[in-house]
Amino acid sequence: MEEKQHYDASDIQVLEGLEAVRKRPGMYIGTTDVKGLHHLVWEIVDNSIDEALAGYCNHIEIIINKDNSVTVKDNGRGIPVGIHAKTGISTVETVYTVLHAGGKFGGGGYKVSGGLHGVGASVVNALSSDVTVTVYKEGKIYEAKFANGGKVVQSLKVIGSCEDNRTGTTVTFKPDATIFDTDIFDYDTLRVRTRELAFLNKGLSITLRDDRTAEDTTGETFMYEGGISEYVKYLNQNKTPIHNEIIHLEGEEEGVMFEVAMQYNSGYSDSIYSFVNNINTHDGGTHEEGVRRALTRIINNYAKRTNMLKNNDESLTGDDVKEGLTMIISCKHPNPQFEGQTKGRLGNSEVRKLADNVFSEGFERFLLENPEEAKIIVDKAMTASRARIAAKKARELTRRKSDLDVVNFGGKLVDCKEKDPSICEIFLVEGDSAGGSAIKGRNSMTQAILPLRGKILNVEKARLDRALTNEEIRTIITAFGTGIGQEFDLNKLRYDKIIIMTDADVDGSHIRVLLLTLFYRFFRPIVEAGHVYAAQPPLFCIKHGNTIKYVLSEEEKEEYLASLKENVKPDITRMKGLGEMDAEELNATTMDIEKRVLRKITVNDVIEADAAFSRLMGEEVEPRRQFIEQNAVYVQNLDI
């Protein structure tokens, strides 16, 4: 290995740059938890995707190596190997050691991808303990090596020869264990995003392989000739589409590419996801606005022209026309403006027009050419409209109730005394007897109890108006205080924590999933803001001498028993259900802030969570059976 001997002024600047990344990694990759760790992979993959978008690369490979380093390979042109005019060192080294290098040093090209922070290769280098970059170009194999946060340990040099026509870049990096909370890559996390990138870049093949598990050496390859149309098909696979064709429209103007794919299903919720440069714009923006506006306008025009909508009928609203709609919107923009607190919204105003034009022309043509499908789609929106009007009336009932007296609607909710939501919690408790114990065992200042008697309606199969006829659901809406549908307001939430307290058995799991479905479909911001928890009642009570210990799992039981001295024999009882605990026990094990263990329900990946809910709670039986079979052992830890 060639040790570098001399450092000059520009070297020192470079080292200071990378040192800044190591001092404040959060500024560059968001977090240093497991999310930040995986972010490193996408920073490298982004460079390969750019190369694919420029038209020079059609295959990418991502490999998790045995030592938990990651290798990314592409068959693009290879990072330039010549001396860089400005830095006096090779372009490869420049890209990997100069902060914010990347595209600035390239010769134009169509650069549109870019991770959340778009800072690329040098950041990965700064946060890695070892990096090797190999470039195949002009019959030669070049290699450069870095260590300990981006220090050059081997300048770029030729290490061998290859076939003349072989080109590409291979990068292997090992994250610096002193920087990240964890250095273990998760195959499923990488898999979900890899598949998404393949959907979003039609024709590009991406292989993902885990070499930590020795047996499988081929990995999985994702390649979709149909691009986002196949994404829509995938999202609708456990739903019942109401027309066969997936509508796929695209257009381009001044270097901005816009594309949309859609299909309606028989369900009531919508799954509309938009992307800019392969990044999910979860707060929408101009590309989404253009499509939504055009969708509403075109359907109304068509419905009026065909006399399906009469003159004195109310117009169809944006909500009516998106019921049961699965849609992917993808925009590739050379200069995207991301707005909002989490930079999740596209701001470029010219895109609104482009999206509206491309969508309205294409969609209108589709309706005219396919009158049968058009009728099905308009009928669906009109049914949604009637349901919306009915729901408005039903909602007025819940509103009136909440205006009167929140403490005693139907005598069900036993509210807490405190009114400051930030310290209040509500327990949704399965069954009357557990509800009774919970009421006695609670801290009445801050803990409210809502015993659930009847079955919770499966809202995956019901529209808002029907859901509102369900007694339990009405009570929940009123208790939360947020309202529902268009008038939902997260700021009005009356409790900081919503705690689902059900038995640790099959019925309990079922009620929990029904509640989560309700929250996810009708109160999604509450879930996303992290207000929903599952209580964890203990599984065993272990009496040993004068001490009583409650444990949550078999493993914890074994661990605790192993820690005991062997003189007195411990007395172990299996806890039956919440209903069999007295108030004191319930408080000590499951409710007391000091002693309990809550499981926070998080939505790691909204799109995957959506698919999981359809699978679990939707119309189709077979996918549900498969899901339950595959996940039966994990049900205890179901995290959506």
| DSSP, res 515 | H
Closer to ligand 1YM by CB, 141 or 406: give it.
Answer: 141
**What SS3 class is residue 606?**
helix
Distances (CA, A) of 482 to 8, 218, 466, 494, 534: 62, 50, 19, 8, 20
What is the Cα–Cα distance from 305 to 320, expressed in whole angstroms? Answer: 18
Q: How far is the CB of 259 from ligand 1YM (least distance, A)?
A: 23
106 binds ligand 1YM (CB under 6 A): yes
Distances (CA, A) of 634 to 179, 538, 601, 603, 639: 31, 17, 15, 17, 9
How many CB atoms lie under 10 A from the CB of residue 182? 14
95 binds ligand 1YM (CB under 6 A): yes
How many CB atoms lie under 10 A from the CB of residue 532? 24
Q: How far is the CB of 21 from ligand 1YM (least distance, A)?
A: 17
Q: Is the dihedral of CA 97, 100, 105, 109 positive or negative?
A: positive
Closer to ligand 1YM by CB, 169 or 402: give it.
Answer: 169
Chain residues 583-622 in contact with ligand 1YM, contact rule CB under 6 A: none
H runs (alpha helix) in 63-208: 91-97, 121-126, 187-200
Q: How far is the CB of 46 from ligand 1YM (least distance, A)?
A: 8
Please say whether the beta carbons of 138 and 78 come within 8 A.
no
Closer to ligand 1YM by CB, 62 or 358: give it.
Answer: 62
Distances (CA, A) of 557 to 226, 284, 407, 538, 600: 52, 48, 41, 10, 23
Please pick, from the candidates 80, 226, 340, 579, the single residue that binds ligand 1YM as defined by CB under 6 A: 80
Residue 136's φ and ψ, nearest 5 degrees, are: -105, 120
Closer to ligand 1YM by CB, 76 or 618: give it.
Answer: 76
Closer to ligand 1YM by CB, 95 or 374: give it.
Answer: 95
Task: Quote the strand ranges of 406-557, DSSP E.
Answer: 425-430, 447-452, 497-501, 532-535, 540-544, 547-551
Please pick, from the candidates 1, 6, 8, 107, the single residue that binds ligand 1YM as defined by CB under 6 A: 107
Q: State the DSSP H helix or E strand holding residue 42, giving kind and residue range, or none if neither.
A: helix 34-53
Please pick, from the candidates 43, 74, 323, 585, the single residue that binds ligand 1YM as defined by CB under 6 A: 74
Closer to ligand 1YM by CB, 59 or 375: give it.
Answer: 59
Among the listed ranges 73-81, 249-257, 286-294, 508-516, the one in contact with ligand 1YM (CB under 6 A) is: 73-81
Please pick, from the candidates 29, 41, 79, 581, the single residue that binds ligand 1YM as defined by CB under 6 A: 79
Q: How far is the CB of 42 from ligand 1YM (least distance, A)?
A: 11
Among the listed ranges 77-85, 176-184, 214-222, 385-393, the one in contact with ligand 1YM (CB under 6 A) is: 77-85
Radius of gyration of the chain (CA): 28
Q: Which residue, judged by CB position, is nearest to ligand 1YM in the bound state?
A: 106
Chain residues 15-44 in contact with ligand 1YM, contact rule CB under 6 A: 44
72 binds ligand 1YM (CB under 6 A): yes
Dihedral Cα 500, 505, 508, 513, nearest 10 deg? 90
Q: How far is the CB of 104 from ligand 1YM (least distance, A)?
A: 7
For 423, residues 6+ apart whose C-beta sits below 8 A from its C-beta are 446, 496
Among the listed ranges 101-109, 317-325, 364-372, 436-444, the one in contact with ligand 1YM (CB under 6 A) is: 101-109
Count of chain residues binding ligand 1YM (CB under 6 A):
20
Q: How far is the CB of 89 from ligand 1YM (least distance, A)?
A: 12
76 binds ligand 1YM (CB under 6 A): yes
Please say whether the beta carbons of 448 and 454 come within 8 A.
no
Which residues does the annotation mark as catalytic? 430, 503, 505, 507
How many CB atoms lie under 10 A from the CB of residue 593? 11
Please pick, from the candidates 30, 38, 105, 536, the single residue that binds ligand 1YM as defined by CB under 6 A: 105
Q: How far is the CB of 80 from ligand 1YM (least distance, A)?
A: 5
Please pick, from the candidates 87, 90, 97, 169, the single residue that binds ligand 1YM as defined by CB under 6 A: 169
Closer to ligand 1YM by CB, 206 or 261: give it.
Answer: 206
Among the listed ranges 78-86, 258-266, 527-535, 544-552, the one in contact with ligand 1YM (CB under 6 A) is: 78-86
Closer to ligand 1YM by CB, 78 or 431: give it.
Answer: 78
Nearest to 124 by CA among 132, 135, 113, 136: 132
Distances (CA, A) of 550 to 94, 206, 343, 566, 573: 58, 48, 45, 19, 10
What is the Cα–Cα distance from 251 to 543, expressed in whole angstroms? Answer: 70
Among the listed ranges 105-113, 141-149, 283-291, 391-399, the one in contact with ligand 1YM (CB under 6 A) is: 105-113
What is the Cα–Cα distance from 525 to 529, expressed in whole angstroms? Answer: 6
The 40-69 site mask, x for binding ligand 1YM (CB under 6 A), equals ----x--xx--x------------------
Q: How far is the CB of 74 from ligand 1YM (least distance, A)?
A: 5
Q: How far is the CB of 4 from ligand 1YM (least distance, A)?
A: 21
Q: How far is the CB of 129 from ligand 1YM (least distance, A)?
A: 18
Please say whether the beta carbons of 309 and 303 come within 8 A.
yes
Nearest to 113 by CA among 53, 173, 193, 168: 53
Look at the block and give the residue holding tokens 């002024």.
Answer: 9
Per DSSP bridges, beta strands 151-161 and 532-535 are unpaired
Closer to ligand 1YM by CB, 76 or 324: give it.
Answer: 76
| Residues making contact with ligand 1YM (CB under 6 A) | 44, 47-48, 51, 72, 74, 76-80, 91, 95, 102, 105-107, 109, 169, 171
